[in-house]
C-alpha cells in the first residue's frame, strides 16, 4: 500500500483520470477562445463550454443557462452575496447567515457590512444544525437574502435546506447556498430544494482546480445580480473574463461522472466512514462532532480527549493526510470557528480532527489508518500522563 494515505478530500480531491483525459486536447489542439465568434477555433471552444455547462446543470437539476462559470466557489460566493446586496438595495439591506459558514461567506458578509448591510448571524445548535424558529424570528421587512451552506465543510452536517427554502419563499426572500461540499456527494436538486443561488467548485468533486460555478435561478423567481467583474459581458453579463475552456470541459465531465456514480459511491464511503469511526472510538475518549443522522456519507469530525490535535496531526503527517478544519484557515492557530459555534470549548476544538474519504480511498487504507492513529493516540496520552506526573 502506498503511503501517505489521503483522507483530506474536503480540502481538495485528486483529478479523476477520466476527467484529465477529456481536458488534454483543449490545452493545445482545441485552444480557441470561446468568445471568438468569427472562426472555427472559437466555435469549437464555445461548443465545448456549452456541453460542459449542460453537464454541470444536469448534476443539480438546473437549466443550462442558469450556470455561470467562475474561478471557483469563493468567487461564486462573492458574486452571489455582493451581487444580491447591490441589485436589491432598493428592497432592503438585511441578510441572514450562520456562524458556522465557510470563511468565504463570513468574510464577504463582513465586507458588505462595512458598506451598509445589516447581517444577522444565526447560532447553530450543539449538533451543528440551525434552529428554524430562530431563522423565522430573524426575518425583517428589510431581509433580501438567506445565506446558509448545504453541508458543512468541517463536520459534514447537512442543513435542512428544503425547510429553510419554505420559510424564505413564504417571505419573498432569496435563498443562497454554498453547496461546495455537497454537490457530487449527495443528491442536490435546486428545484426540489428551492434554492435560488448556489455555489460549488470542480476540485471538490474530482475535477480540476481553478473553475467553479454559480447557479442563478431564471424563473419563479428570476434572480438578478450586479456583476463583480466587468470587461466584456461574458456569462450573460454576470462574470466577465476569458473562459477557462479546459477547466470547464473537466468540470462537466466530473459532474457527469458524479451523476452516474454518486449513489453507489456514497454507500461505499459511508460504510468505510463508519468502519473508521468504530475502529477509532473503541479505544475510548473519542467523540463525533455534529449530527450523525444529517451528514455527508464520507466525512467525520472526531474529538480525541487528552490529545492536542496539532500534535496528532504532526505525528501522523508522514503517513496519513488529515486536517483540523478548513484548508482555507489551516495556517491559523485559532480553534475551528465551526466547532466553537457548536459550543465546543477551545481544548475540545483543538483536539478535533476532520477525516474526509474519497473516490480513491480503499478499505486497506482505512484499516491502516485505524491501527496507526490508535497507536499514536495512545502514545500521546501516555506522554501527557508522564508530563503531568512530573
Q: Where are the beta strands (DSSP E) in 241-285?
A: none
Q: Per the residue annotation, which of 15, 258, 303, 328 is the catalytic one?
A: 328
Cβ atoms of 311 and 148 within 8 Å: the answer is no
What are phi and psi for residue 163, nearest 5 degrees? -70, -40
C-alpha grid cell, residue 277 = 469511526
C-alpha grid cell, residue 131 = 434552529
Burial of 103 (0-12, 13-18, 19+ CB in 10 A): middle
Edge-to-edge strands, sheet with 212-216: 67-70, 212-216, 197-201, 174-178, 143-147, 94-98, 118-122
Burial of 67 (0-12, 13-18, 19+ CB in 10 A): buried
Cis preceding linkage at 221, omega within 30:
yes
Q: Where are the beta strands (DSSP E) in the chain?
A: 5-6, 67-70, 94-98, 118-122, 143-147, 174-178, 197-201, 212-216, 286-288, 299-304, 320-321, 352-356
Q: Look up 328 and say whether it is catalytic.
A: yes
Q: Which CB contacts under 8 angstroms, 24+ apart, belong to 179-182?
A: 179/60, 179/149, 179/150, 179/151, 180/73, 180/102, 180/149, 180/153, 180/204, 181/10, 181/149, 181/150, 181/151, 181/152, 181/153, 181/156, 181/296, 181/299, 182/150, 182/151, 182/158, 182/296
Q: Which residues are catalytic?
A: 328
Amino acid at each position: 500500500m502506498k503511503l501517505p494515505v489521503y483522507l483530506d478530500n474536503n480540502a481538495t480531491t485528486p483529478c479523476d483520470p477520466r476527467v484529465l483525459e477529456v481536458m488534454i486536447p483543449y490545452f493545445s489542439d482545441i485552444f480557441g477562445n470561446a468568445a471568438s465568434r468569427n472562426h472555427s477555433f472559437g466555435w469549437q471552444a464555445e461548443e465545448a463550454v456549452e456541453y460542459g455547462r449542460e453537464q454541470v446543470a444536469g448534476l443539480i437539476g438546473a437549466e443550462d443557462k442558469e450556470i455561470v462559470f467562475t474561478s471557483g466557489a469563493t468567487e461564486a460566493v462573492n458574486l452571489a452575496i455582493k451581487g444580491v446586496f447591490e441589485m436589491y438595495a432598493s428592497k432592503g439591506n438585511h441578510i441572514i447567515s450562520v456562524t458556522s459558514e465557510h470563511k468565504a461567506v463570513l468574510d464577504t458578509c463582513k465586507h458588505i457590512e462595512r458598506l451598509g448591510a445589516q447581517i444577522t448571524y444565526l447560532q447553530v445548535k450543539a449538533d451543528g444544525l440551525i434552529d428554524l424558529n430562530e431563522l423565522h424570528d430573524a426575518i425583517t421587512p428589510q431581509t433580501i437574502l438567506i445565506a446558509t451552506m448545504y453541508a458543512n465543510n468541517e463536520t459534514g452536517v447537512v442543513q435542512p435546506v428544503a425547510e429553510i427554502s419554505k420559510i424564505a419563499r413564504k417571505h419573498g426572500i432569496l435563498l443562497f447556498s454554498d453547496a461546495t461540499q455537497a454537490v457530487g456527494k449527495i443528491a442536490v436538486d435546486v428545484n426540489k430544494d428551492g434554492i435560488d443561488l448556489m455555489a460549488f467548485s470542480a476540485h471538490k468533486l474530482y475535477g480540476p482546480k481553478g473553475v467553479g460555478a454559480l447557479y442563478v435561478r431564471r424563473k419563479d423567481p428570476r434572480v438578478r445580480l450586479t456583476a463583480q467583474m466587468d470587461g466584456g459581458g461574458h456569462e450573460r453579463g454576470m462574470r466577465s473574463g476569458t473562459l477557462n475552456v479546459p477547466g470547464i470541459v473537466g468540470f462537466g465531465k466530473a459532474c457527469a461522472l458524479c451523476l452516474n456514480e454518486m449513489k453507489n459511491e456514497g454507500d461505499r464511503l459511508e460504510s468505510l466512514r463508519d468502519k473508521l469511526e468504530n475502529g477509532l472510538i473503541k479505544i475510548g475518549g473519542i467523540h463525533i462532532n455534529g449530527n450523525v443522522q444529517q451528514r455527508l456519507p464520507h466525512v467525520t469530525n472526531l474529538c480525541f480527549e487528552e490529545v492536542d490535535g496539532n500534535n496528532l496531526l504532526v505525528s501522523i503527517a508522514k503517513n496519513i493526510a488529515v486536517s483540523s478544519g478548513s484548508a482555507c484557515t489551516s495556517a491559523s492557530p485559532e480553534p475551528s470557528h465551526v466547532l466553537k459555534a457548536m459550543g465546543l470549548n477551545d481544548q475540545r476544538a483543538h483536539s478535533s480532527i476532520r477525516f474526509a474519504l474519497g473516490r480513491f480511498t480503499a478499505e486497506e487504507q482505512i484499516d491502516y489508518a485505524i491501527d496507526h492513529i490508535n497507536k499514536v493516540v495512545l502514545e500521546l496520552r501516555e506522554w501527557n500522563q508522564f508530563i503531568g506526573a512530573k
